[in-house]
Amino acid sequence: MPVYGTENVVVRCYETGPGGLARPATFADYFQEAASNNARALGFPGERLWAQGMAWVLARLALHIHRYPAAGETVCIRTWPAAHDRTIAQRCYEATDVHGQPLAWGTSAWVVMDISTRRMLPIPDFVAQGYPKDQPDCRPFATRAVPKLRETAHEALLRSRRADMDANGHVNNARYVDWVLEAMPQDFAAAHEPSMVDITFRAECGAGVPLVSFCSAPEEQVSLHSLRLASATAQEPRADHGSSVQPQPAGATPEKSAKPDSSPAEHAAGESANATELCRARVIWRARPAHHAPEHRA
């Protein structure tokens, strides 16, 4: 008998973007919330791992989105842990509207990390033993791995914030979903929406870090993405957050800053072939439906 976690979530105004519709990252947020609650119900919540010096880490997430809901709509979510092997646990997601019509589905791969060494651990015994049996498989990832971006066509500068940090003091994975999409040219992004986002997570990120989001030209409506640190000196988290300046009237010329990120080429991530890659993604695009009436917006 499969074990599902279910919850209904109302899309809040502030979770929607242009057109008044949810974003792909909105589903990543909802799915993570549902996963967290279901893991707690099954006896292997994050806090139990945390107490033993371990943490669940999302390694890969594929979102397939049929329709983006509007603010005020109810999203019905079902999640379940599927198979696991020695190191990787799969979790599946489905989202429908209140009429049972599909909104999205997802497949995720999780690993367990040692918090102090940041190294991957085998799935702990208490998780393996508590894992429900005979669960439905997740739908498979479309490719064995997310392909590496080799030909950069567009880029966008980003900077992580304290407000992006989760309870663990790192950027939550769902923010990376937002960030890889920032690189698409505005005219393309205005006319298209992702029908699929497949993202693989490679490095953590703290606050105040300059980043560059790179992407390919969308060939036949598919784009590849890479999110990287903007420079080697940017690897110091919070480098500029709350940095002191010489007391002076606001608006006057500041003293020369010695901050590590005051270098001239914040966006020159491409200068270093070794720039740390935080994540890479593959995105499938489709034409946006006709402009959504702003019936739900304030």
Query: Segment 207-236, which members bind its own copies (CB under 8 A)?
Result: 207-208, 210, 214-215, 217, 226
Contact by Cβ (8 Å): 165, 209: no
Residue numbers 96-135 binding its own copies by CB under 8 A = none
Q: Which of 64, 94, 107, 182 binds its own copies (CB under 8 A)?
A: 182
The DSSP secondary-structure symbol of 101 reads -
Shortest distance, CB of residue 134 to its own copies, whole angstroms?
Answer: 25
Q: How many Cβ atoms from other residues are within 10 Å of residue 97's Cβ?
A: 15
Shortest distance, CB of residue 291 to its own copies, whole angstroms?
Answer: 11
Q: What 3-state class would DSSP assign to 187?
A: helix
CB nearer its own copies, residue 1 or residue 298: 298
CB neighbour list of residue 52: distance below 8 Å, 6 or more residues apart:
124
Whether the CA torsion 197, 17, 180, 186 is positive or negative: it is positive
Strands (E), 66-122: 74-84, 89-96, 102-114, 120-121
Examine residue 297 and tell whether it contacts its own copies (CB under 8 A).
yes
Specify the DSSP element, H or E, that contains 66. none
Q: Which of 3, 78, 139, 188 binds its own copies (CB under 8 A)?
A: 188
Residue numbers 3-22 binding its own copies by CB under 8 A = 12-14, 16-20
Tell me which amino acid residue 277 is: E
CB nearer its own copies, residue 1 or residue 250: 250
Cα gap 182→202, rounded to integer Å: 18
Residues in contact with its own copies, shown as a per-residue x/- string from 254 to 273 under the rule CB under 8 A: x--x-x-xxxxxxxx-xxxx
Which residue is associated with the tokens 């974003």? Answer: 23
Residue numbers 139-168 binding its own copies by CB under 8 A = 148-159, 161-163, 165-168
Residues in contact with its own copies, shown as a per-residue x/- string from 22 to 61 under the rule CB under 8 A: -x-x---x--xx-xx--xx----xxx--x-----x-----
Examine residue 185 and tell whether it contacts its own copies (CB under 8 A).
yes
Shortest distance, CB of residue 103 to its own copies, whole angstroms?
Answer: 18
Q: Total number of residues binding its own copies (CB under 8 A)?
A: 99
Contact by Cβ (8 Å): 145, 199: no
∠ Cα 290 176 218 (to 5°): 50
Shortest distance, CB of residue 117 to its own copies, whole angstroms?
Answer: 20
